[in-house]
Structure 1
Amino acid sequence: MTHHVFVLGEMKDGTVRSVSIEALAAARKIAGNHPVTGILFGEHANENSDIMIQHGADEVITADHQALRQYTTDGYSQALLQVLPDNQPIVLVIGHTAIGKDLSPRVAAKIGMGLITDIVSLEVVNGKPIFTRPIYAGKAFEKKTFKETSGLVTIRPNNVEPLPKDQSRHGKKSHVQVNIKDIRTVVKDVMKKAGGGTDLSEAKIIVAGGRGVKSAEGFKPLEELADVLGGAVGASRGACDAGYCDYALQIGQTGKVVTPDLYIAAGISGAIQHLAGMSHSRVIVAINKDPEAPIFDVADYKIVGDLFDVVPHITKHLKDDASES
């Protein structure tokens, strides 16, 4: 069946987010030889059109409006509904982010199309896309597809391989005017947390600490290791509840779900709620003094020892290797 596939791109700090590049790769697979259209909203939309085209879009539609400078559910949903075509079979792909999780059910309900969220892989069988998503906190997986001709999917970050950047690709660019009214929520100011660094949900490398760090000061060795590796710092709920770090760093069933290439768990026992948020990382390294810690059951590499001895040793070794190369 012929589908016109759309991707709503997200931008952070003036550039397209990695998960939107991955969404383009998913859209390209769904579309086959049919067109993929990227959509960008906000003041930096025009300047990022080429990035979308170079990563798989055949066309990019942009729109700017005062109500689109910061994300609001009302603003983005109104703009998106005006951009998408009426009465045509479409597939809309969005990143499974805070924005994607908030926006997707509203748009799907307004258009009357199916919604499949938190996709970790997809395949196309006889021209029909089949999506795989985790259930029961990652203990099992289900395959789903759309009953009707149209549908909306959200893609979990770090699960779909992005297409290589191709600077020779060219595509159509168009800018549209949107009419946005009745905004019930207004963003007055955005305050970024100090030391926010790399977004946890998109980080390729994460160094996470649990109660074993013992204090806020105990996160410093983890931050140094993450800095050397070019990664992000995360935490278990236990560390957050103890006041060692901000809840923005929490990974687990009630925090962020992450799938980095490398996950280093230091001083984390491995409660089932935490495992639900990180157990599908590609490589897991666990550091814990307790050889019976549950985290070792999912770890690829296990280090039994004090994190305050092990982590600085790894950091020093990496720095020495870097200075010699």
Structure 2
Amino acid sequence: MPDVLVLVDHDGERVHKSTYELLAAARRLGDPIAVLAGTPGTSARLRDSLARHGAIGVFVAESSEAGEFLGSAAVNALQLAVRTVSPAAVLVSSTTDGKEVAGRLAARLDTGLLTDVVDLHPSGAVTQVVFGGAYTVRSEVTHGVPVIALRPGSFEPEEHPVQAVEHELVLPPIDPAASARVTARRPAVAGDRPPLTEASVVVSGGRGVGGADSFKVVEELADVLGGAVGASRAAVDAGYYPHQYQVGQTGKSVSPQLYIALGISGAIQHLAGMQTSKTIVAVNKDPDAPVFGVADYGVVGDLFSVAPQLTQEVAARRGVA
């Protein structure tokens, strides 16, 4: 079986769910090998969880500079790994950071790049969302090693325990003049809710929520479902909810098992970030709202009447006080 490189997305202490999804996807094409770039000691903390999810090998690139520059260590590590094993493909998460790494790597390797991929085929072709979500197409790289950015939520993580062999990569010094330096880090305030791109349930509010205080109705439904809270661009621009929770083409792309849209009309910008969700439920007073065109279930009604009833019913069935 050919090797498939998977870039590990992590925070230094834990591997993000999207990486486990990539490892599951990689097995469609060959044998997954994780590429881990981080500060010294990162591999010791994360290696076992990668092996538990199917990584037969781990290329470890540890450097004190890894956390100082945006994406540079990951690009360098992937480039060295590609030269070492000549993989069938390189997989990264189709997040803001992942797309930057993928683009830089493809440019260095002079190879093809596919982003916002939602499915992989054993032949090497992919299913890809393009033009802001307007089309879903089947694509294939025809030049060089394919660099594929897979949208989070497209695959289910699977435990597949193996013995992972570790290989060390020696990173070259990073040129500060050619790299963006990280000057500060602030942890995102998310409370007990799962991260937006990792949640199996996302409840999002739009302009129809009417204000920041009214977003409580969105949060209550998300909490009783054990999900994350999202927001449309209109809601974010109006100051209803913080920018880091924006779902859409210029925000985060999500593909949860369940996506509930409350008071969201369904502008193409928003649909581009959530229409690959497995099940979509929309609540809107306008029966002609575009969001109903992608919804599996639609409720024409006042979200302030529908959402609390749904919250109450879910809580009753789950025995939540």
TM over 0.5: yes
**CA offset at residue 308 of structure 1?**
1.8
> Which consecutive residues of structure 2, in runs of 5 or more, have no partner in the other structure?
none
Residue type at the aligned position of 2:153: N
Residue type at the aligned position of 1:191: R
The equivalent of 1:220 in structure 2 is: 216
Aligned partner of 1:175 among 159, 168, 172: 168
Residue type at the aligned position of 2:44: N
2:224 is aligned with 1:231: no
Q: Is the 8 A contact 2:6 2:91 kept in 1?
A: yes
2:284 is aligned with 1:288: yes
In the superposition, relative to structure 1, how do residues 311 and 71 fare at CA in structure 2: closer, same or farther (>3 Å)?
farther
**CA offset at residue 113 of structure 1?**
2.2
In the superposition, relative to structure 1, how do residues 75 and 170 fare at CA in structure 2: closer, same or farther (>3 Å)?
closer
Q: Which aligned pairs between 1:270-281 and structure 2 lie closer than 5 A?
A: 270-281=266-277
Q: Is the 8 A contact 2:247 2:254 kept in 1?
A: yes
Q: Is the 8 A contact 1:261 1:281 kept in 2?
A: yes
In the superposition, relative to structure 1, how do residues 266 and 73 fare at CA in structure 2: closer, same or farther (>3 Å)?
same
Distance (whole Å) between structure 1 residues aligned to residue 210 and residue 320 of structure 2: 34
The equivalent of 1:187 in structure 2 is: 182
2:68 is aligned with 1:75: no
Distance (whole Å) between structure 2 residues aligned to residue 195 and residue 107 of structure 1: 31
Q: Is the 8 A contact 1:78 1:180 kept in 2?
A: no
Secondary structure, in 3 states, of the residue corresponding to 1:16? coil
Q: Is the 8 A contact 1:9 1:38 kept in 2?
A: yes
**CA offset at residue 132 of structure 1?**
1.4
The equivalent of 1:18 in structure 2 is: 17
2:130 is aligned with 1:135: yes
**CA offset at residue 70 of structure 1?**
5.2
Q: Which aligned pairs between 1:20-59 and structure 2 lie closer than 5 A?
A: 20-31=19-30, 35-43=31-39, 44-59=42-57
**CA offset at residue 55 of structure 1?**
1.4
Residue type at the aligned position of 1:85: R
Q: Is the 8 A contact 1:285 1:299 kept in 2?
A: yes
Distance (whole Å) between structure 1 residues aligned to residue 63 and residue 260 of structure 2: 42
The equivalent of 1:166 in structure 2 is: 160
Q: Is the 8 A contact 2:106 2:113 kept in 1?
A: yes
Residue type at the aligned position of 2:299: I
Residue type at the aligned position of 2:265: S
In the superposition, relative to structure 1, how do residues 177 and 294 fare at CA in structure 2: closer, same or farther (>3 Å)?
closer
Deviation larger for 6-15 or 70-79: 70-79
Q: TM-score, normalised by structure 2?
A: 0.90
Residue type at the aligned position of 2:173: I
Q: Is the 8 A contact 1:116 1:153 kept in 2?
A: yes
- Encode CA deviations 1:120-179: one digit per residue, 9 max, x unaligned: 111123xxx1111112222222222232452211111111233x2134x22212334323
Distance (whole Å) between structure 1 residues aligned to residue 126 and residue 148 of structure 2: 9
2:6 is aligned with 1:4: no
Q: Is the 8 A contact 1:252 1:276 kept in 2?
A: yes
Q: Is the 8 A contact 2:116 2:130 kept in 1?
A: no
Q: Is the 8 A contact 2:203 2:259 kept in 1?
A: yes
Distance (whole Å) between structure 2 residues aligned to residue 180 and residue 83 of structure 1: 16
Q: Is the 8 A contact 2:37 2:73 kept in 1?
A: no
- List 4+ stretches of structure 1 deviating above 6 A: none
In the superposition, relative to structure 1, how do residues 218 and 109 fare at CA in structure 2: closer, same or farther (>3 Å)?
same
Distance (whole Å) between structure 2 residues aligned to residue 252 and residue 66 of structure 1: 34
> Which consecutive residues of structure 1, in runs of 5 or more, have no partner in the other structure?
none
The equivalent of 1:144 in structure 2 is: 139
Distance (whole Å) between structure 1 residues aligned to residue 85 and residue 311 of structure 2: 57
2:251 is aligned with 1:265: no
The equivalent of 2:152 in structure 1 is: 157
- Encode CA deviations 1:241-280: one digit per residue, 9 max, x unaligned: 2111122222223322222111111111222332232222
Aligned partner of 1:298 among 263, 280, 294: 294
Residue type at the aligned position of 1:119: V
The equivalent of 1:124 in structure 2 is: 122
Q: Which aligned pairs between 1:99-110 and structure 2 lie closer than 5 A?
A: 99-110=97-108
- Encode CA deviations 1:186-213: one digit per residue, 9 max, x unaligned: 2232112333643322321111111111
Q: TM-score, normalised by structure 1?
A: 0.89
Cα RMSD after superposing both structures:
2.3
In the superposition, relative to structure 1, how do residues 107 and 211 fare at CA in structure 2: closer, same or farther (>3 Å)?
same
The equivalent of 1:92 in structure 2 is: 90
Secondary structure, in 3 states, of the residue corresponding to 1:137? helix
